[in-house]
Structure 1
């Protein structure tokens, strides 16, 4: 796919680029000359490296890297200040840089089926986040700052290794859907009663029957 990605780089005013399912293994640097790009979809390819030049796409609103083989997220992604929808599902990276939380415009963050062992300690800085999906990872803890996500409506932490939630979890008063099934959690914090907008909850320890309720 080198020829194709090199060709599209000539369209300097391009705003929406879909390169999904093209067996792409490398993102050529010419691609990052598309300074007007707002939507970039590179899902279902074989990309193993996200070049630091991604940070040059200052107008980017949506970035879909779903189902590639990316092992590292560059710090320069923090320069995409307009980013609202970031999909990193299905990539084998273990760490999300703290600097990603400088992208405070993000409303949807998809981190399902990676090898993440922790979330950024300052994730609460994503003040506009509405949807956080972290299913099927290796998370053991949940940062206490998560309770600062006042706009959060959907949170999926299912199928991880979490044993405890922050005591002040109830501060997530806009939360409507919460999935914490298949973890090591024995109980939910008492403060969850303060999540009065919650209408869907899935909670189950590993090896136990699922408890799910819809309000």
Structure 2
């Protein structure tokens, strides 16, 4: 029994706002949780064996955020739709096949259904005017509810690695949609395969690399500083698995290869081979360690907006140099048929003097898979306010 669960059952957690009950093998929600109803806002039940939630869950009237990642749900519980304050729901990597209309909370702002078996979504999603972030990669979707056209706050959408033959037209009319990933679907697979076949990248065996340090990690993998047999230091991205929150590693690699070399892009020099766990990986140039990430990824509260350090100060001239460098890099991407899909400050390294480097193609998609009119719309999304302001 975890210390947290023991403390909960002993009544020692009175007044907490966040409760983590992860990796405990739970088959039902402990009833003692309801003693926290007047304060509990965040509940993490990830990595358990839950298949349902209690009918009186709305008693947790202050609950805003619920994580149920890595459980055994086959149907999203309808009781969620009656939780008055619930705005973020995560059911990543369950066994979900069905999302009932009644399961959608009216205040929904952020929904994570990545890595399930969902074939259809309810029209009630369109009744969520606050919906800002929707993660659906790795399901069996071939369409989206037309009601999503009413979700004018939707800023980030991940529909990679599903069964889309076409991209719904209404998506490109959403006024705030800035981060879209649609790779790994039937509409893109032929183009991705062609990009991968055309590559002449060398392969570097795992055994020839010395891992020196963890530099960072994101939705799709971890970045390590490594040294090869010549003594040269490189950056190695090791993918977390066959499917990430953004999509498939193969889609990322295809986009990265098609992007080509550019001084403001973190390019790819080689592919990893022989990883002991069979993981895919990419070797990239190592950016000067003095450079730093422009901002931290979004928080639970900021949802789709990066979090900037309060101490960050950049002059107007520096910002203009940064914007010009990024614009030039994006111009090359769009000319080569690549939509980055994740143009965020947390994917931008900078030196404080105006030099920038854009990386992480985990959400990138190939524009030539789209009809010309859709491709033009996608390539027009520059996202400057969200990326660097």
Superposed pair shares fold, TM > 0.5: yes
For residue 120 of structure 1, the aligned residue among 100, 110, 115 is 100
Q: 2:111 aligns with which of 132, 144, 153?
A: 132
- Please say which of residues 150-159 and 48-57 is displaced more in the overlay: 48-57
Shift of 1:70: 1.5
Task: Rate the CA distance shift 1:62–1:145 in 2: closer, same or farther, 3 A.
Answer: same
Per-residue CA deviation, residues 156-200 of structure 1 (Å, 9 max, x unaligned), is 011001111112322111111100011112123222132111111
Stretch of structure 1 that moved more, 92-101 or 49-58 = 49-58
Q: Which residue of 1 aligns with 2:124?
A: 145
With over 3 angstroms needed to count, the CA separation of the structure-2 counterparts of 1:172 and 1:191, relative to structure 1, is same
For normalisation by structure 1, the TM-score amounts to 0.79
Structure 1 partner of 2:58: 78
Q: Indicate the residue corresponding to 1:90 in structure 2.
A: 70
Matched, 1:185 2:172: no
| Kept after mapping to 1: 8 A contact 2:66/2:88 | yes
Task: Report the CA distance shift for 1:8/1:131 in structure 2 as closer, same or farther (over 3 A).
Answer: closer
Whose Rg is larger?
Answer: 2
Gap runs ≥5 in structure 2: 193-250, 252-337, 342-380, 382-389
Return closer, same or farther for 1:4/1:13 CA change in 2, 3 Å cut-off: closer
Measured on the aligned residues, the alpha-carbon RMSD in Å equals: 2.4
Instruction: Indicate how the Cα distance of structure 1 residues 123 and 69 shifts in structure 2: closer, same or farther if over 3 A, else same.
Output: closer
Does 2:13 correspond to 1:39?
A: no
From the superposition, tell whether residues 112 and 3 of structure 1 become closer, same or farther in structure 2 (CA, over 3 Å).
closer
Indicate which of 43, 54, 78 corresponds to 1:63: 43
The Cα shift of 1:213 comes to 4.0
Structure 1 residue aligned with 2:324? none
CA distance in 2: counterparts of 1:4 and 1:78, whole angstroms: 22
Please point out which of 137, 159, 166 is paired with 2:138: 159
What's the counterpart of residue 14 of structure 1? 14
Q: Secondary structure at the match of 2:134?
A: strand
Specify which structure has the higher proportion of helix: 2
Q: What does residue range 97-116 of structure 1 map to in structure 2 within 5 Å? A: 97-116=77-96
Q: How many residues align?
A: 193
